Chain A
Amino acid sequence: MRAGVLVLLCAPSALAQADAYSPPAASQPSGLQINGYADVGFAAAQGNGTSFAPGDTRIPADYGVDPFATAVNSRGDVASTDSGGRFTNGFLPRSMNIGGQASIFLSTFDVDLKYVPSTVPLLLFGRVQFLPRYGGSGNDTRVIVEQAFAKIAPFSSLELAFSIGKFDSVFGIEYLENEANLRTNITPSLIARYTTGQSLGLKAFYRIQIPGIWSAVSLNAAVTNGGTLVETLSPPDISLVGRPIGSARLGYELNLPSVEVKAGVSGEYGPRNDQHDPTVRQWLLGADLRVVFKGLSLSAEAVKVHQDEGAADKSNGLGPQTLVSEFVARGAYATLSYTLPVSDGALRKFIPYLRYERRRAQFEGFPAYTVDRWTIGFRVDLWEELIVKAEGLLNGEVSGLPKVDNNVFTSSFVYQF
């Protein structure tokens, strides 16, 4: 095991993989470091950019279809959430509001501030994001503090760290690729809405290495306001319900010279933070697997979600809603990618990828529906600073919901600093 107080500094990449994203450590032992990226996209969606079928008059409009399907960027923002005047009840992502028109847009301008004191085992981190948007009422630009936490590793002999503040999820593995410069592909999976949300609270990470069998076991656990659902579904910044949500992942790593295997199980339990009654609960169970072998990478994850019904005081990142509906869902994805060996010139990486995913969901009062999606695309890294990605999303309606033209082509140009 790596020893010493500066484990955070000496092994940043390993820790980053298991304990959310942190930018590379400064070359100097202390001081302020500024990093960031910009994500410029271009996308075109079929139809009107939503998943609302023209002949579907049921309401709430967002309960009978998957409004998250037409994602166009790494934040999961969709081309449109315009329901055409039909009542919705807060099961929506954020929207780029491009509708069915092809458009270029700036998804994210990200600035990360990191400070690592030289004399204490601390890492102080903040991430501010500028999200230029245009909506029906004009300029809809937001500035958000996506992360702001202090992390301490109190024991030099243990790979143990505690964080307080607003930080990444601990559930599953997809949150590791929340940021556009880290994500192999562009758009989040259909289950990312349940597992990748940032939240505010306390977190502990512990990992023990077992060198004799090339293995490590880790536990990442958190108690937070909003759990791991994305902010539109479960507000992370305050506790509406007055009780925390617990979440954790138990992971196993096998790090052989030629193959790397990582597997984990995750769970979450607590009150729903989109309402005020602490007896209205939610739970999530998940499992994940990553295998890397000679440039070939397989990532897979599955999750099951249950939310109790509550009263009529629903409120989330989209504002006040109405009924707190019982909700169940399950889904899974698998992504296969291959990193082609290239020269040390401008072209550093070329990664074609393919993802298949499936999601089944049911809201109270609505029949269950199943959707699936194929995603095919590529990522090109030029030097260390530039990334170009393009992908197509082929959204399918398997059962229980009307057919709709909602396939998406999207692309992303990312520069990082």
Chain B
Amino acid sequence: MSALIDGARTNTADGAASVTLRGQPLRFLSDPYTAGQQLQDPDRDGLVVQPAFADTRPAAFVTTEIWDGFPRVWAQPLYVPVTGFDPVTGPVRFPDSLSIFGCAPGSRFYSPYWQTYFVTVPAGTDPNALRSAQEVVDSGFPLTPGPLRYATIGPQQVEVARATGAPAPVHPFTLDVLQARLPTQAWADGQLVWAVDFGADRFRVNPANNVVQEVALFRLALLGSDGQPQALDVPPVVGTGPLGTPRAADAPNGFPRFGALRHEYYAVLTNAAGQFTPGIFVSASRPELRQQLISQVGAAMVPVPSGAAERLPEREQYTLRVALDGSCFTLTDFPNSCTWFDTQQSIEGNLPTTAFIDLKRFSSGALVFFDGVAP
């Protein structure tokens, strides 16, 4: 995460896309997406709430790490000191102790994916006795496996991006309230660190080797005049499985366990649409956004929605959603009239295999919104 914050300061593409520095405009809560300009809280840098679609539903995620050229990422141990286990409430935290990350960010084996182990600490132990994985191993205290957890180590002054004065972060298009995530202290390699904890069961691993299961992330694109794909400035689509193997969305009680490790691909629309012209849905209530898109991709790809579409109360859930044939926006049975590129199945089923270009990079970060739930 620190690398992306540094990247934001030097205005790298990944940094700027992932982090909004304190006091700076929040892209998706400012022109042209929303009238006016809202700024990130002046005391903290913000992890950009990236709108997305997943399994036909509006979603959003943050990005805390980007892995270029790393074929696999695995869950490292996170040790949580406990005094025992209550049969009703579960593990009993050891008072005044901090969790111990098994790997520090300086290591290339660091990842924000953690396998929790509860360390049963005898009474009378110094709460700060265990400050590194080595000390935990050397202690010989009993270890009990716990849940998987997504937590990213970084600076103290960071949060999920939130507008100045707003009580909590929101989804930029639906304005659903998201959970605020503030850093807490922990140990890593004997040093005090700060970490933003996105909670338990936010990803899955292969049981045989603790390698984190990836999903495909599709960045919709058009072929440019030079024959190279040009990404559309629309929300990406988070898949539910690796490329070519979509699965049912794994989200018990609405809490998604997929999408925290994303293998990125271009999905090039030019090859697929055939006689149809894909359409990007933007309500007439967002004229500046419509105008910007038209200047980028032409008016044909940004049809004027029908009156029926504009009257839909949930129309903002379709903002910047891409349809196979944009003419469906003008029909009275919108949105059912559309074949949307909003699921892995739909994208892979409606585009030829040659439409997918592996960007050979992975991004990490939990889904912070999915199907009306802010996990």
Query: What is the interface of chain A, defined by CB distance below 8 A to chain B?
Result: 53, 55-60, 64, 85-88, 309, 311-313, 320, 322-323, 325, 364-365, 367, 400, 402
Q: State how many angstroms separate the Cβ of A307 from the closest Cβ of chain B.
A: 14
Are B69 and A59 closer than 8 Å at their CB atoms?
no
Q: Taking the complex as formed, is B179 at the interface, i.e. its CB lies under 8 A from any CB of chain A?
A: no
Are A57 and B77 closer than 8 Å at their CB atoms?
yes
Q: Taking the complex as formed, is B209 at the interface, i.e. its CB lies under 8 A from any CB of chain A?
A: yes
Q: State how many angstroms separate the Cβ of A227 from the closest Cβ of chain B.
A: 23
Are A85 and B70 closer than 8 Å at their CB atoms?
no
- Among the listed B77, B137, B208, which residue makes an inter-chain contact with A59, where contact means beta carbons less than 8 Å apart? B77
CA A323 – CA B133 in complex, angstroms? 20
Cβ of B329: which chain A residues have Cβ within 8 Å of it? none
Proximity string of chain B (104-132) to chain A, C-beta cutoff 8 Å, 1 when within and 0 when not: 10111110000101000000000000000
Cβ of A88: which chain B residues have Cβ within 8 Å of it? 209
B102's nearest neighbour on chain A, judged by CB, is A58
Proximity string of chain B (181-214) to chain A, C-beta cutoff 8 Å, 1 when within and 0 when not: 0000000000000000000000000011111000
User: By DSSP majority rule, is chain B's interface helix, strand, loop, or mixed?
Assistant: loop
- Among the listed A64, A87, A320, A364, which residue makes an inter-chain contact with B108, where contact means beta carbons less than 8 Å apart? A364
CA A88 – CA B208 in complex, angstroms? 11
- Among the listed B104, B109, B134, B140, which residue makes an inter-chain contact with A323, where contact means beta carbons less than 8 Å apart? B109
Are A311 and B69 closer than 8 Å at their CB atoms?
yes
Are A58 and B77 closer than 8 Å at their CB atoms?
yes
Cβ of B117: which chain A residues have Cβ within 8 Å of it? 57
Are B72 and A322 closer than 8 Å at their CB atoms?
yes
CA A87 – CA B133 in complex, angstroms? 16
Are B133 and A58 closer than 8 Å at their CB atoms?
yes
Query: What is the interface of chain B, defined by CB distance below 8 A to chain A?
Result: 69-72, 74, 76-77, 102-104, 106-110, 115, 117, 133-134, 137-138, 140, 142-143, 207-211
Cβ of B107: which chain A residues have Cβ within 8 Å of it? 364-365
- Among the listed A53, A87, A320, A402, which residue makes an inter-chain contact with B74, where contact means beta carbons less than 8 Å apart? A87
CA A400 – CA B135 in complex, angstroms? 10
Are A365 and B137 closer than 8 Å at their CB atoms?
no
Are B138 and A402 closer than 8 Å at their CB atoms?
yes
Cβ of A323: which chain B residues have Cβ within 8 Å of it? 70, 108-109
Are B103 and A365 closer than 8 Å at their CB atoms?
yes
Are B137 and A56 closer than 8 Å at their CB atoms?
yes
- Among the listed A86, A312, A402, which residue makes an inter-chain contact with B71, where contact means beta carbons less than 8 Å apart? A312
Which 8 A-B pairs rank lowest in CB-CB distance, beginning with the nearest? A365-B107, A57-B77, A312-B70, A87-B74, A365-B109, A87-B209, A402-B137, A87-B210
Are B209 and A86 closer than 8 Å at their CB atoms?
yes
- Give the one of B71, B102, B103, B117 with max A CB within 10 A: B71
CA A311 – CA B71 in complex, angstroms? 11
Q: State how many angstroms separate the Cβ of B364 from the closest Cβ of chain A.
A: 15
Q: State how many angstroms separate the Cβ of B76 from the closest Cβ of chain A.
A: 6
CA A106 – CA B102 in complex, angstroms? 40
Cβ of B209: which chain A residues have Cβ within 8 Å of it? 85-88
With contacts A57-B143, A58-B102 taken as known, whether A322 is within 8 angstroms of B71 at the C-beta atoms is: yes
12 A-B contacts (beta carbon < 8 Å): A55-B140, A56-B137, A57-B77, A58-B102, A58-B103, A58-B133, A87-B209, A313-B69, A325-B108, A325-B109, A364-B109, A365-B107
Q: State how many angstroms separate the Cβ of B88 from the closest Cβ of chain A.
A: 27
With contacts A55-B137, A322-B70, A402-B137 taken as known, whether A309 is within 8 angstroms of B77 at the C-beta atoms is: no
With contacts A312-B71, A322-B72, A365-B108 taken as known, whether A57 is within 8 angstroms of B102 at the C-beta atoms is: yes
With contacts A85-B209, A313-B69 taken as known, whether A59 is within 8 angstroms of B74 at the C-beta atoms is: yes
Q: State how many angstroms separate the Cβ of A63 from the closest Cβ of chain B.
A: 8
Cβ of B133: which chain A residues have Cβ within 8 Å of it? 57-58
With contacts A85-B209, A86-B210 taken as known, whether A53 is within 8 angstroms of B137 at the C-beta atoms is: yes
Q: State how many angstroms separate the Cβ of A143 from the closest Cβ of chain B.
A: 28
Q: State how many angstroms separate the Cβ of A8 from the closest Cβ of chain B.
A: 48
Are B77 and A312 closer than 8 Å at their CB atoms?
no
Q: State how many angstroms separate the Cβ of B7 from the closest Cβ of chain A.
A: 19
Cβ of A364: which chain B residues have Cβ within 8 Å of it? 107-109
Cβ of B102: which chain A residues have Cβ within 8 Å of it? 57-59
Q: State how many angstroms separate the Cβ of A178 from the closest Cβ of chain B.
A: 32
Are A59 and B109 closer than 8 Å at their CB atoms?
yes
Are A85 and B143 closer than 8 Å at their CB atoms?
no
Q: State how many angstroms separate the Cβ of B358 from the closest Cβ of chain A.
A: 15
Are B108 and A85 closer than 8 Å at their CB atoms?
no
Q: State how many angstroms separate the Cβ of B147 from the closest Cβ of chain A.
A: 14
Are B143 and A55 closer than 8 Å at their CB atoms?
yes
New contact pairs (10) apart from A55-B140, A85-B210, A364-B109, CB-CB < 8 Å: A55-B142, A57-B77, A57-B115, A60-B109, A87-B210, A88-B209, A309-B108, A311-B69, A364-B107, A365-B107
Cβ of A59: which chain B residues have Cβ within 8 Å of it? 74, 76-77, 102, 109, 210
CA A148 – CA B138 in complex, angstroms? 47
Cβ of B142: which chain A residues have Cβ within 8 Å of it? 55
Cβ of B74: which chain A residues have Cβ within 8 Å of it? 59, 87
B134's nearest neighbour on chain A, judged by CB, is A367
CA A86 – CA B209 in complex, angstroms? 5
